[in-house]
Amino acid sequence: MPAALDGLLVLDFSTLLPGPLATLMLAEAGAEVVKIERPEVGDDMRHYPPQWGESGAPFSLLNRGKKSLAIDLKAADAVARLRPLIARADVLVEQFRPGVMTRLGLGYEACRAINPRLVYCSITGYGQSGENSGRAGHDLNYHAETGLLSLSHGSLDQPVVPPVLSADIAGGAYPAVINILMALRQRETTGEGAHLDVAMADGLFTLPFWALAEGQAAGNWPGNADSLLSGGTPRYRLYPTADGALLAVAAIEQKFWEAFCEAIGLEAELRDDRRNPEATTHRIGEIVGAQPAADWTELFDRVDCCCNLVRGLEEAQADPRFRARGLFSERLVNGAGQDMSALPLPIDPALRANRGEPASAPSLGADNALLDDPS
């Protein structure tokens, strides 16, 4: 079976995380992805620790299976050298601030004049228009500015930074892939490409849907850890065990809540958590805190009520239940012969490219011959 995107050519002008993750997913589905990088330096992510072979391990995870061109985009002949590739490309992904690609002679209108069928995807923090469009930012800034961080940031004396780069991934990379695929489908009908404006900050507003519903419909705007899905109910919280682990309780539905209460022996008068949620929370904390993690693991392996222990990432990766689904079966290799598990991606195996051998990230400029023979 051919992969879903076999035959598509993607030019990737992006760096760091959002664009490279988006083009990685396209590459895993069979597209030929050509990464455009600065001479001598390349993508900044090449130099992020830990080092793994000739590049940083994060770069290797995000750029496996791609090709690399090293070219100075400010050079007088850069556009002319890239023109044949642009002419036959299906998708272009860029991640500069608005206006940069235009100044380089590679903006959407210039590329559209070369290839009207090109799907051109621009990923930025705040979008191609508006007062914020030229502002710099990173994931934490977008979390803060969109109100998402206000829902769960820990205490003022111990504020908590989000553990994942959800603006880059859920607000940038994933919407980019979704919109690219829809634009390719639309192109089948119209014969025309499109300019896609993906703003990471905009994409974050989708995530707190329950808080938006509660605030707009009931006028009750959630604050820090006080709503249904951020720790504001006894049914959806983290409870410390006797030996310093954490029990993740997510028994939201009534049937799961009743099973949980029965399993831990919560007193009957506290099981209606609407009457005195603080008292219910306090008592559950006492019960969970009286026994070690191993006891709770054994119990909730038997009781189906959406409860489990918080695990370390290394332990989770080694779990045979995840490995049985093939999450870490694909290997990544480098020039020194070292290997590690490739980054798991949300792509069904039936849609993916079958390379027959472990993939690797490209050396900087390894495919510069494409500038002379783009076919």
Residues assigned a catalytic role: 138, 168
Residue closest to 15 by CA, chosen among 43, 36, 56, 35: 43
Residues 6+ apart with CB under 8 A from 100: none
Cα separation, 166 vs 143, in Å, equals 8
The number of beta carbons lying within 10 Å of the beta carbon of residue 158 is 7
Residue closest to 280 by CA, chosen among 292, 266, 291: 266
Give the end-to-end CA distance of the chain in Å, rounded to a whole number: 24
- 266 phi and psi, to 5 degrees? -70, 135
Helix (H/G/I), strand (E/B), else coil: 155:
coil
Helix (H/G/I), strand (E/B), else coil: 137:
coil
Residue closest to 11 by CA, chosen among 85, 110, 102: 85
- Judged on CB neighbours under 10 Å (0-12, 13-18, 19+), 287 is middle
Residue closest to 354 by CA, chosen among 5, 30, 25: 30
DSSP 23-45: HHHHHHTT-EEEEEE-TTT--GG
